[in-house]
Amino acid sequence: MSDDLLRFAPIALPIAGAVLGMLLEALLRKPKVAMWLTVASLAGSIVSVFGGATGLAGYGSELYTLDAAGGILTAGASAFALLALFLSVNYLKPQDDEFPGEIPILLALVPAGIGIIAGARHAMMIFLGIELLSVPLYALVALRRANAAAVEGAVKYFLLGAFAAGFITFGMSLLFASEHSLDLDALRAAAGRSPVAAAGTALFLAGLLFKLSAAPFHFWTPDAYEGAATPVTALMASTTKIGAVAGLLKITPLLPASAWPALAAIALLSIAAGNFGALLQDRVKRILAYSSVAHAGTILLALAAGLSAADPALAADLHSAASRASVYYLIAYGASAFGAFGIIAILERGGDRFRTIGDFRGLSRRQPAAAWLLTFFLLSLGGIPPTGGFWAKYFVFATAVQAGQLWIAVAGIILSVVGVAYYLRIVATCFMASEDAELGAPPQGKVPLPALLATLAAGVGVLVLGFAPAELLGLIGR
């Protein structure tokens, strides 16, 4: 019995925290209570993952069993949500923040949704998880109701998200019609068995690719990222991809090995669309939004490689290599992107500063620490050692090479170099402005300590991943 409780703790704790928080918020109107409840429940979720909640079988295990990789994803998502909570403290201006208790409550549900996907053994669980992850995010993006960009971003995100949910449910119904089951083990390789199942799988995949913001499903990303309050953007960047990839790791086994070129093509298209799109942007949040499209593509490269072996023994090996690489990538990318948005949030401090790249001109002279940290995170996003981002790219391309996709790997890595160009553009603006150039807006007010700590924590994460890649890799296991 106690095992059963422990099994569900990683998802049950944040949900319970959120429900209790809503209740207490309604009764007490004390946002601090909801906040600390969320902190405690997310911390509890992380502790339960490392305290043995993974790999347990028992009641309900035909629906939900968390494996080691899923555990890391759940714990990672909880950690990012926790950091985003700290980042959001004192961020919103009072007029934007009519219901300060909402943020922690909504935040807690995001990792719960990811946890459900990560442990799903049934297609319906993935759908439930996706919705539990997305609905709070729609609300969080629209949090600043007076801000037109926020509302626009949220509406776009919501409408396209509704389409994606429609795709997923329609795909599930086709799968059920063809296979008479939605159990993921029973569905294994289903797409090869009948055209109906193939269509269902394709629709399901399209829904997940939308959530991943892979090209050509990425058009909502720049608007939603830019419209959202920056702590929310940090949360989206670091966690939505975890949810989507957790789902993709469950759904790709439905595909036959011969489907890998399609995934690889979407991957390369995403890297190209994201990187070239970002080159054309002038607003930093949009640049990072496009870069997230490219990163989605890089993760897909690993998944495509994981799919590519027809021989069952090799396929199992490749799939586990792909899941290892993508989990590592998600954590490293999440920490780097969180850090970059964290720096922007700290610089903005709720105002309308630091929007365009020009606002960062000469940042190193005004706020050297912020400039250095931002550079560090951007280098990690670019995949330059000694950062976690380097090893993340390394493991992904290693998987592609292991699968024998040499030319795909070469194409992907060369397209990735394009990405470095715009990261360097930001770095150059911060550091290399001439002495007499007009500087961007000066920051105002004090740096909020929780936000600073959250960003520094992400930085420590990226650094540790950069120098000791083996540790996380070991945790993910085989």
Partner 1 sequence: MNDWILPLLVGIPALGALAVALAPAKRDGLFSLALLFCAAEAALAIFTFTKFDGTNPNEQFSFSRPWFALPTGAGEAVPVAFHLGIDGLSLLLVALSGLLAPVILLSAKGHIERREREFLVWSLVMIAGMQGVFLSRDLLLFYFFWEISLIPLYFIIGIWGGPRRVYATVKFFLYTLAGSVVMLIALLYLAYNFGTVAIQELSTKDIPVRAQLGCFLAFALAFAIKVPMVPFHTWLPDAHVEAPTAGSIVLAGVLLKMGTYGFLRLGVGMFPAAAVQCGPWIAGIGAAGIIYGSLLAYGQSDMKKLIACSSVAHMGTIVVGMFALNAAGLRGGILQMINHGLSTGLLFLLVGVLYERRHVREIAEFGGLAQVIPAFAVVLTVATFSSIGLPGLNGFPGEFLCLKGAFDASPLLGAAAAVGTVLGAVYMLSMLRRVAFGPITRGENQKLIDLNGREWASAIILLIPMVWIGLQPSLFIKPTEPAVDLLISQIEKGRRSLALENGASLKIANAGAAETGKSGGRR
Supply the minimum distance, in Å, between the C-beta of residue 281 and partner 1.
17
The residue from 6, 257, 398, 463 that contacts partner 1 (CB under 8 A) is 398
Residue 425 touching partner 1 (CB under 8 A): yes
DSSP string, 41-110: HHHHHHHHIIIIITT---TTTTTB---HHHHHHHHHHHHHHHHHHHHHTTTS-GGG-S-TTHHHHHHHHH
The residue from 36, 170, 219, 431 that contacts partner 1 (CB under 8 A) is 431
Number of Cα atoms under 13 Å in the Cβ half of residue 85: 29
Residue 377 touching partner 1 (CB under 8 A): no
Supply the minimum distance, in Å, between the C-beta of residue 377 and partner 1.
14
Distance separating alpha carbons of residues 190 and 255, to the nearest angstrom: 7
Residue 426 and residue 378 in contact, taking contact as beta carbons nearer than 8 Å: yes
Of 15-23, 125-133, 150-158, 418-426, which segment contacts partner 1 by CB under 8 A? 418-426
Residue 478 touching partner 1 (CB under 8 A): yes
The residue from 310, 428, 437, 449 that contacts partner 1 (CB under 8 A) is 428
The residue from 186, 410, 437, 460 that contacts partner 1 (CB under 8 A) is 410
- Write the single-letter amino acid at 385: P
Supply the minimum distance, in Å, between the C-beta of residue 116 and partner 1.
28
The residue from 57, 149, 280, 432 that contacts partner 1 (CB under 8 A) is 432
Residue 358 touching partner 1 (CB under 8 A): no
Residue 295 and residue 381 in contact, taking contact as beta carbons nearer than 8 Å: yes
Residues in Cβ contact with 310 at an 8 Å cutoff, skipping those fewer than 6 apart? 257, 258
Residue 409 touching partner 1 (CB under 8 A): yes
Q: Which is nearer to partner 1, 191 or 284 (CB)?
A: 284
CA-based max dimension of the chain? 71
From 115, 119, 118, select the one nearest 16 (Cα to Cα): 115
Distance separating alpha carbons of residues 299 and 392, to the nearest angstrom: 9
Q: Which is nearer to partner 1, 233 or 323 (CB)?
A: 323
Of 26-34, 83-91, 157-165, 383-391, which segment contacts partner 1 by CB under 8 A? 383-391
Which x/- pattern, by CB under 8 A, does the window 310-349 give for partner 1? ----x--xx--x--x-------------------------
Residue 416 touching partner 1 (CB under 8 A): yes
From 324, 357, 376, select the one nearest 425 (Cα to Cα): 357
Residue 438 and residue 358 in contact, taking contact as beta carbons nearer than 8 Å: no
Distance separating alpha carbons of residues 356 and 171, to the nearest angstrom: 41
Residue 379 touching partner 1 (CB under 8 A): yes
Sign, CA torsion 45/50/54/56: negative
Q: Which is nearer to partner 1, 37 or 363 (CB)?
A: 363
Q: Which is nearer to partner 1, 4 or 317 (CB)?
A: 317
Q: Where on the chain is the footprint of partner 1 (CB under 8 A)? A: 314, 317-318, 321, 324, 364, 379, 384-386, 390, 394, 397-398, 401-402, 406, 409-410, 413-414, 416-417, 420-421, 424-425, 428, 431-432, 435, 468-470, 473, 478
